Amino acid sequence: MTQTLASTQSAAHWCGGVFVGAIVAQLLSAALWSHQGGTHIVWFPGAVLLGALLATPRRMWPALMGAALMGLVVTGVSFGLPLADTALVVSPAVLLTPVAAWLLQRVPSRVPPLEDFTRLYIFAAVAVITLPAVCATLIEHASRYTSFRGSILSDWPNIALAHALGYVLYVPVWVSVRSPDAAVRHEPRLPTEFYLLMVVSIALLGVIWYGYGNHAELVPVLCLAPAPIIIAAIIRAQMTGSSIAVFVIVIMAGHLSIGGHGPFMAATPQQTTLALQLWTLTAALSALTLGVVVEQRFASRRALSHAHDELREMTGRLIATQEQERARLARDLHDDINQRLAAASIGLSSLRRRVAPAIQAEVNHIQHQVIALSEDVRQLSHELHPSCLHHAGLRDSLEALCHTSRRPRAPHVVFIADRAIDVLSADIALCFYRVTQEALTNALRHADASQVTIKASVTSGLASLWIFDDGKGIDPEILPSTGPGIGLISMNERAKLLGGSFELRTAPGKGVDLCLRIPLETS
């Protein structure tokens, strides 16, 4: 019962929208109607009906067709036109539009409609060529039995092009606004400066057309003058912007032509309207083609951004899992292996007192080896899971890490930091610790450095870590070909996960400088 009521309300809303939309579309089309010979520049009601049919289930189509027919008849009667004549000339478009909608819905596609050239070509063939041509043929025949021919309606080319322009200007905008994959739904709101620039550009175009439109030698240039405006509208506002820009330019050109100005002036009003229609159709189809390219570009960019987000999320999970596994291994080493080694050392001590004096020295040597192994296991456990971060704080943990790196032939480590870094969150503290740990490991193994300087600080809203050595450095020309190592990749990913940045500067013979910056608010 509830679903039936909701379906009825939805149908009523759609019918009301189509009824009002047909009236508004007819009034907008009439605003560009030339009284001389009844020539129409564009006719929108059929496009409004087609857009509604493409967005609704087929069971609602008869009601929508009736709403569109009623809206057109009401508008015609309000202008003093005969009811029967009005219904006769608008019926072909109302009756044939569902056929076009059915054909367009039957087109298979694996990508969104705004990004598919095949669907664009089929839309042009069905809604821009076939449907207007058939409707114009039927309307022209029907007009012979009405009082509209020669006064309200013109010849077949004018009627067909007016219908075609309505479909090509309106339907892509409707699909773009409703499609969840449209770029216009994902891009940020356009700044006011862009709208002002478009208004000024179109106004300047009107001034140029008004002043130089009657110069025959300039007509080719003047016809191409709107191209930068339309291209800018496509790039910034996609298909919606391009269609609106073309329509505004058509309105301006139509009023200029009625006043005897502009590059589309011809010998008769019919020829002037035909020239304007052909130019508009060419510009609109070109804009649609470029719009598909722009939609594909934005879709590729969104897909790439989505892939980057997924990769970053996966990297975060991988690092978190790695830390959990390191903590488990550290506990096993400390609580199990190290305890066994301690028990073995106690057993060797007891054994040394019971064996002959001749082999006590050998047992004592084995006991020292076990103690050294236990110490190495303890150190490995601390490296795997720095529990000191939770107990001693980041500054003392980093200082202890610098001391443990002082091995024979190891570089001198200078550590500079204050207690302000102890207030950093656990995630940032762990990131700083791991980056420092990896940087010291690289310096010990590869840099041949005599000194490594580590500096950690916290300023207003930013936590920074600098690590630089005076080693042999890395050749920047070799780095892109060989690719960064796992350690550098890990540093970079840890910084990105916290919303920060990682910078590497190096040159042969001039050491390596690492800089890690993490905004405190983001983290």
Per domain, the residue ranges of the chain are: 11-182, 388-522
For residue 406, what pLDDT is reported?
Answer: 55
Distance CA(75)–CA(210), nearest Å, equals 33
Distance CA(437)–CA(514), nearest Å, equals 13
**410 three-class SS:** coil
**186 three-class SS:** coil
Q: If we measure between CA atoms, which residue out of 236, 242, 243, 276 comes closest to residue 258?
A: 276
**418 three-class SS:** coil
- Going by CATH, does the domain composed of 388-522 fall within 3.30.565.10? yes
Q: Compute the chain's Rg from CA coordinates.
A: 38
Are the C-beta atoms of residues 338 and 376 closer than 8 Å to each other?
A: no
Distance CA(134)–CA(17), nearest Å, equals 26
- Sites in the chain below the pLDDT cut of 70: 1-8, 34-38, 111-114, 149-152, 182-186, 404-409, 475-485, 521-523
Question: pLDDT for 383-398, tens place per residue?
Answer: 777 777 777 788 888 8
Are the C-beta atoms of residues 434 and 454 closer than 8 Å to each other?
A: no
For residue 1, what pLDDT is reported?
Answer: 45
State the CB neighbour count (10 A cutoff) for residue 374: 18
Are the C-beta atoms of residues 97 and 46 closer than 8 Å to each other?
A: yes
Neighbouring residues of 16: CB distance < 8 A, sequence distance ≥ 6 = 67
User: Where does residue 365 rank: exposed (0-12), middle (13-18), buried (19+ CB within 10 A)?
Assistant: exposed
H, E, C per residue of 187-242: CCCCCHHHHHHHHHHHHHHHHHHHHHCCCHHHHHHHHHCCHHHHHHHHHHHHHHHH
Distance CA(11)–CA(60), nearest Å, equals 7
Tokens of 214: 């009657």
Enter the DSSP assignment of 411.
P
Query: In sequence order, what are the beta bridge partners of 330?
Result: none
Are the C-beta atoms of residues 131 and 92 closer than 8 Å to each other?
A: no
For residue 408, what pLDDT is reported?
Answer: 62
479: left (phi over 0), alpha (psi -120 to 50) or beta: alpha
Residues written for the chain: 523
For residue 5, what pLDDT is reported?
Answer: 47
Are the C-beta atoms of residues 284 and 165 closer than 8 Å to each other?
A: yes
For residue 161, what pLDDT is reported?
Answer: 93
Long-range contacts of 236-239, Cβ-Cβ distance < 8 Å, separation of 24 or more:
236/190, 236/194, 237/184, 237/190, 238/176, 238/182, 238/183, 238/184, 238/187, 238/291, 238/294, 238/295, 238/298, 239/114, 239/172, 239/173, 239/175, 239/176, 239/182, 239/184, 239/287, 239/288, 239/291, 239/295
CA distances in angstroms from 488 to 364, 393, 402, 484, 512, listed in the order given: 44, 25, 19, 6, 12
pTM assigned to the model? 0.68
Distance CA(451)–CA(436), nearest Å, equals 14
DSSP string, 93-151: HHHHHHHHHHHHHT---SS-GGG-HHHHHHHIIIIIIIHHHHHHHHHHHHHTTSS-BTT
Question: pLDDT for 309-329, tens place per residue?
Answer: 888 788 778 877 877 787 788
